[in-house]
Amino acid sequence: MPVTIDDAVAVLRAGELVAFPTETVYGLGADASSAEAVKKIYAAKGRPRNHPLIVHVARVDQIGEWAQRMSPAAQRLAGRYWPGPLTLIMKRAPHVNDLITGGQDTIALRVPSHPVAHALLAAFGGGIAAPSANRFGRVSATTAGHVRSEFGDVVRCVLDGGPSDVGIESTIVDVSGEIAALLRPGHITAREIEATLGIALAVPGAASPRAPGMLAKHYAPQTPLMVMEADLLLELAASMTRQGHKVAVLARSARQPLLNGVTWVAAPHDAAGYAHDLYANLRALDIAGCSALLVEQLPLDAAWAAVSDRLMRAAAGSASADAT
Ligand code: TXA
Ligand code: MG
CATH code for the domain of 285: 3.40.50.11030
CA of 182 to the centre of ligand 1 (A): 13
In whole angstroms, give the CA distance from residue 81 to residue 113.
Answer: 10
CA of 234 to the centre of ligand 2 (A): 32
CA of 249 to the centre of ligand 1 (A): 29
Query: Which pTM value belongs to this model?
Result: 0.95
Is the same domain home to 173 and 282?
A: no
Examine the pLDDT at 211 and tell me if it is beyond 80: no
Q: How many other CB atoms are there within 10 angstroms of residue 82's CB atom?
A: 19
CA of 140 to the centre of ligand 2 (A): 6
Mean per-residue pLDDT, 88-110: 96
Measured at the alpha carbon of residue 100, what is the angle toward residues 89 and 131, in degrees to the nearest 5?
80
Of the pLDDT bands very low, low, confident and very high (cuts 50, 70, 90), residue 204 is confident
Is residue 202 domain-resident?
Answer: no
- % of the chain beyond a pLDDT of 70: 96
Instruction: Output the pLDDT for position 322.
Output: 42
Ligand 1, pocket-test mutation among 17, 41, 49, 132, most atoms within 8 A of CB: 132
Is the same domain home to 253 and 190?
A: no
CA of 194 to the centre of ligand 2 (A): 25
* C-beta pairs of 7-14 under 8 Å, 24+ apart in sequence: 7/157, 8/120, 8/124, 8/157, 8/159, 9/120, 9/123, 9/124, 11/157, 12/37, 12/124, 12/128, 13/124
- Which residue has its alpha carbon closest to ligand 1 atom 19? 213
Of the pLDDT bands very low, low, confident and very high (cuts 50, 70, 90), residue 208 is confident
- Which residue has its alpha carbon closest to ligand 1 atom 29? 107
Sign of the Cα torsion 194, 199, 200, 202 reads negative
In whole angstroms, give the CA distance from residue 238 to residue 232.
Answer: 10
pLDDT digits (tens, 9 = 90+) for 267-281: 999 999 999 999 999
Can you tell me which atom of ligand 1 is nearest the CA of 92? Answer: 29
Instruction: Count up the domains in the chain and report the number.
Output: 2
Is the same domain home to 230 and 193?
A: no
Among all ligands shown, which has an atom nearest to the Cα of 317?
Answer: 2
Instruction: Output the pLDDT for position 263.
Output: 97
pLDDT digits (tens, 9 = 90+) for 16-47: 999 999 999 999 999 999 999 999 999 999 99
Instruction: Output the pLDDT for position 68.
Output: 96
Is the same domain home to 229 and 156?
A: no
Of the pLDDT bands very low, low, confident and very high (cuts 50, 70, 90), residue 187 is very high
Is the same domain home to 162 and 48?
A: yes
Answer whether 52's CB lies under 8 Å from 102's CB. yes
pLDDT digits (tens, 9 = 90+) for 221-269: 999 999 999 999 999 999 999 999 999 999 999 999 999 999 999 999 9
In whole angstroms, give the CA distance from residue 125 to residue 108.
Answer: 18
pLDDT digits (tens, 9 = 90+) for 271-324: 999 999 999 999 999 999 999 999 999 999 999 999 999 999 999 988 655 433
Residue 257: which domain range? 225-317
Helix (H, G, I), strand (E, B) or coil at 129: strand
Ligand 1, pocket-test mutation among 82, 134, 169, most atoms within 8 A of CB: 169
Is the same domain home to 10 and 154?
A: yes
Among all ligands shown, which has an atom nearest to the Cα of 96?
Answer: 1
Which protein residues are within 6 Å of ligand 1, measured from CB?
Answer: 22, 24-25, 27, 51-54, 87, 89, 101, 104, 106-108, 110, 130-132, 169-170, 172, 183, 209-214
What's the Cα-to-Cα distance from 114 to each of 84, 86, 246, rounded to whole Å? 8, 13, 38
